[in-house]
A and B are shown apart, each in its own frame.
Chain A
Amino acid sequence: MEALTLTDEEAARLVQLGEPEMFGVLVERYEEKLLRYGRRFLSKSEDIEDIVQDVFMSAYENIQDFDTHARFSPWIYRIAHNAFVNKLGKSVRDRLRLIDLDTLLSHPAYEDPDIERREWKEVGKMIDKALAEVAPKYREVLVLYYLEELPYKEIADVLSVPQSTVGVRLKRGKEALKRAYEQLERDHGTH
């Protein structure tokens, strides 16, 4: 089967059946995405390449746990997310993983592609300058949505939270991003 015509899920299935070279196809497809995700999420000069390599190694070790009826993208993003969160350090990891109000209750947030498209340009400009100033909990959804362009459902699977929580964090993340951006603009304006 031509590797180019294979879906991610088909490639993963072939790996599971004993064709490890097919894993190279998946590495090629996701390497740049995960490197970009890592650089934006960690936002420091971490050794992103080493972490991403570890992510792929972990993905290969656990490939038999992947359900080929589900999408591969959120599965590998989840492994990457967990690796990046671990890199952030214990205190941040604890803040991200402890029960928080976003996940306790349902929230009336929904995905509106028209609104999101209008805001994309504005948010994109702010992300370039101010993303590092935003708390990791909101940074991760901003990166996954605006930079990795994952839909709410897949972000929910990556973060293991309800879809409504994704909406809430995205809304709050945009607000935090805007505040950080405006603060940076003010700071630069005074220099």
Chain B
Amino acid sequence: MEHTKDTIKENILHKIKENKLSMRPRAYFLLRMVLVALLGLVILLVSVFLFNLIFFSMRVSGHAHLMSYGPSGIAIFLRLFPWPLLIVDVLLLMLLEHLLRRFRFAYKQPILYFFFAILALAISVGLLIDRSSDVNDRMLRHADVNDLPGPFNNFYEGARRLPPPEFRVR
């Protein structure tokens, strides 16, 4: 055992001395931390945007009012709810949670607690943006004249989508 101990220590120190084993520079870890933080921020911003779009969609299409029409209204609301957006959003937040799990502030909490905390944050900020500013309404006006870049025209015009024919008043 003593021979083994000396061998392992000697091997390690020998490799260090021969420059066959070297430390990664501090900058490497700082850069990695920055990239993780940036990626996390992008994911969170996209998630907030999607929740914002969900709330805007319910408001501008009037679908949110269906909830006050009893069980049949709720059933129609659930049918018209933009579920794909919500699914994508939840998947993004799961990815964010997985990304942050290497940090102590994340893993010291049970997974669901941390996930629901960032879900609540994304929902709250998304709702706040829609209800306390007119940014979505302005974006919709720009979308009406195809003035938004890339897929944003479709996002905003899609938020005002009509219900399927079976739900329209004849």
Q: Quick check: B12 and A56 within 8 Å, CB to CB?
A: yes
Q: A60-B23, A65-B29 are in contact. Are A53 and B111 (CB under 8 A)?
A: no
Q: Quick check: B112 and A27 within 8 Å, CB to CB?
A: no
Q: Does B11 have its Cβ within 8 Å of any Cβ on chain A?
A: yes
Q: Quick check: A61 and B9 within 8 Å, CB to CB?
A: no
Q: A23-B12, A24-B12, A31-B8 are in contact. Are A104 and B112 (CB under 8 A)?
A: yes
Residues of B within 8 A of A24 (CB): 9, 12-13
A-B contact count (CB 8 A): 83
Smallest CB separation, B114 vs chain A (Å): 10
Residues of B within 8 A of A31 (CB): 5, 8-9
Smallest CB separation, A66 vs chain B (Å): 9
Q: Which of A52-66 contact B (CB under 8 A)?
A: 52-53, 56-57, 60-65
Number of interface residues of A (CB under 8 A): 35
Q: Does B35 have its Cβ within 8 Å of any Cβ on chain A?
A: no
Q: A60-B21, A104-B112, A162-B107 are in contact. Are A21 and B8 (CB under 8 A)?
A: no
Q: Does A161 have its Cβ within 8 Å of any Cβ on chain B?
A: yes
Per-residue 0/1 for B21-65: is the Cβ within 8 Å of any A Cβ (1 yes, 0 no)? Answer: 111111011000000000000000000000000000000000000
Q: Quick check: B12 and A61 within 8 Å, CB to CB?
A: no
When chains A and B are docked, how far (Å) is the Cα of A56 from the Cα of B111? 30
Q: Which of A99-142 contact B (CB under 8 A)?
A: 99, 103-106
Residues of A within 8 A of B111 (CB): 99, 103-104
Q: Quick check: A28 and B107 within 8 Å, CB to CB?
A: no
Q: Quick check: B107 and A160 within 8 Å, CB to CB?
A: yes
When chains A and B are docked, how far (Å) is the Cα of A22 from the Cα of B94? 41
Smallest CB separation, A158 vs chain B (Å): 11
Q: Quick check: B23 and A106 within 8 Å, CB to CB?
A: no
When chains A and B are docked, how far (Å) is the Cα of A56 from the Cα of B104? 22
Q: Quick check: A160 and B8 within 8 Å, CB to CB?
A: no
| Candidate in B16, B22, B26 with the most chain A CB atoms within 10 angstroms | B16
When chains A and B are docked, how far (Å) is the Cα of A163 from the Cα of B7? 36
Q: Quick check: B28 and A28 within 8 Å, CB to CB?
A: no
Residue of A at shortest CB range from B98? A99
Residue of A at shortest CB range from B10? A24
Residue of A at shortest CB range from B97? A99
Residue of A at shortest CB range from B22? A61
Q: Does A177 have its Cβ within 8 Å of any Cβ on chain B?
A: no
Residues of A within 8 A of B28 (CB): 64
Other A-B contacts than A20-B16, A61-B23, A62-B23, 16 sampled, CB-CB below 8 A, are: A16-B23, A20-B23, A24-B9, A35-B4, A56-B8, A57-B12, A64-B24, A65-B24, A99-B111, A104-B110, A106-B113, A156-B108, A160-B101, A160-B107, A162-B107, A162-B108
Interface residues of B (CB under 8 A from A): 1, 4-5, 7-9, 11-13, 15-17, 21-26, 28-29, 101-102, 104, 107-113
